[in-house]
Homo-oligomer: A and B are copies of this chain.
């Protein structure tokens, strides 16, 4: 059989990511490929770095995009900073906290878990208690915006507690970056990673990361080699660094970086605070509509992520049937539940370019129809 060219349908992406990608970003993506050591490309990388510093609200020199999806960004933060001698406190309140545990275990470091309720923010008091019980802990890790439940944790407070106990902080900002307030420097985050395909509305495949000076020092002074060559950030920095000659490490995903650049230019033009406000406005409108449809949120109102709205599937409603109806009749994707909420919830994303008036209204109208089927 001869395989033909692939033409995807035009969907509206309101799941947990990838989110809708704007025509501007798709257009940037398709610009002619140039070499990863081309002076024009290297200059563009410097701009990506500067734009990421703005998005993360940081002056960290060690800011770049990992050439792989968010889960590789997570792994880059863990394997570069942590050695088997370290003790890491991981706060878990969903799937992505569980993944942090996987990372710590595969490093062979000592692990302390702060078990939280799925669908709630991480409890600062539980972290405080755990750090008192484990004075040897030197890292605290948690998820700022838990994509599996839609819970937003108070990263500022959690980092302040970690700092009081002299711990470095690792924060998952995959779904938060660009969608809610995130201030890496002010909040004293030492390592943060995100994904290109959430509130930045870029194509999936890149993971913006940033390391504080203190984290960079830890990486540079670790006694043993990082277990991953591909993710060894001290080598990668030789390529991303603005100082002097760039040394080849791996071939950068050139076109995806064009797209990331464009999505960050759009964020810069809108303004970070305006982007946060837009996500909130769209969320309020969606919430009102979901309440009218009788759908209940998993997360209490004051701990909700605007960009990821997880609601319980009503009794007697067929999960797959509703999602298939939306996809087939409206080319509209909403997300299924994940982990503990598989089959029990839907996740409606309002991320980046998807967080628009027309999408909210379409989603509510289509969902109303779907629930009647």
Q: Interface on A for B, CB 8 Å cutoff?
A: 2-11, 13, 15, 17-18, 20-21, 24, 26-41, 44, 47, 50-51, 67-72, 74-75, 79, 99, 102-103, 105-106, 195, 197, 203-205, 225-231, 248-256, 258-259, 261-262, 264-265, 268-269, 327, 333, 336, 338
Contacts and interface: CB of A to CB of B under 8 A. Distances in A.
B106 A228 contact: yes
* This protein's copies in its complex: 2
Contacts of A17: 251
Contacts of A105: 225
Given A69-B251, A105-B225, A35 B21 contact: no
A230 B47 contact: no
Contact of A33 (B18, B41, B338): B18
Name A's interface SS.
Answer: loop
Candidate in A24, A28, A33 with the most chain B CB atoms within 10 angstroms: A33
A189 to B, nearest CB: 21
Contacts of A4: 265
A318 to B, nearest CB: 16
Nearest to A18: B33
A147 B303 CA distance: 52
Contacts of A228: 75, 79, 106, 227-228, 231
Contact of A71 (B11, B103, B230, B269): B230
Contacts of A33: 8, 11, 13, 18, 20-21, 26, 197, 203-204
Contacts of A253: 69, 203-205, 253, 256
A231 to B, nearest CB: 8
26 contacts: A3-B50, A3-B51, A6-B44, A6-B261, A6-B262, A8-B38, A8-B41, A8-B258, A18-B34, A21-B32, A26-B32, A33-B204, A38-B333, A67-B68, A68-B72, A69-B250, A71-B230, A75-B230, A79-B228, A106-B228, A204-B251, A205-B205, A205-B253, A205-B255, A228-B231, A256-B256
Nearest to A1: B50
A68 B68 contact: yes
Contact of A29 (B29, B36, B67, B261): B29
Contacts of A204: 33, 36, 251-255
Contacts of A29: 29-30, 255
A129 B24 CA distance: 58
Contact of A32 (B11, B30, B51, B248): B11
B229 A99 contact: yes
Contacts of A229: 71, 75, 99, 102-103, 106
Nearest to A68: B68
Contact of A226 (B5, B106, B197, B265): B106
Contact of A7 (B31, B248, B249): B31
A261 B75 CA distance: 28
Nearest to A102: B229
Contact of A34 (B9, B24, B227): B9
What 8 A-B pairs come out closest when comparing CB atoms? Answer: A205-B253, A30-B30, A68-B68, A71-B250, A203-B255, A21-B33, A204-B251, A72-B230
Given A71-B230, A75-B228, 11 more contacts: A4-B265, A11-B38, A18-B34, A21-B33, A26-B30, A29-B29, A37-B336, A39-B327, A68-B72, A205-B255, A205-B256
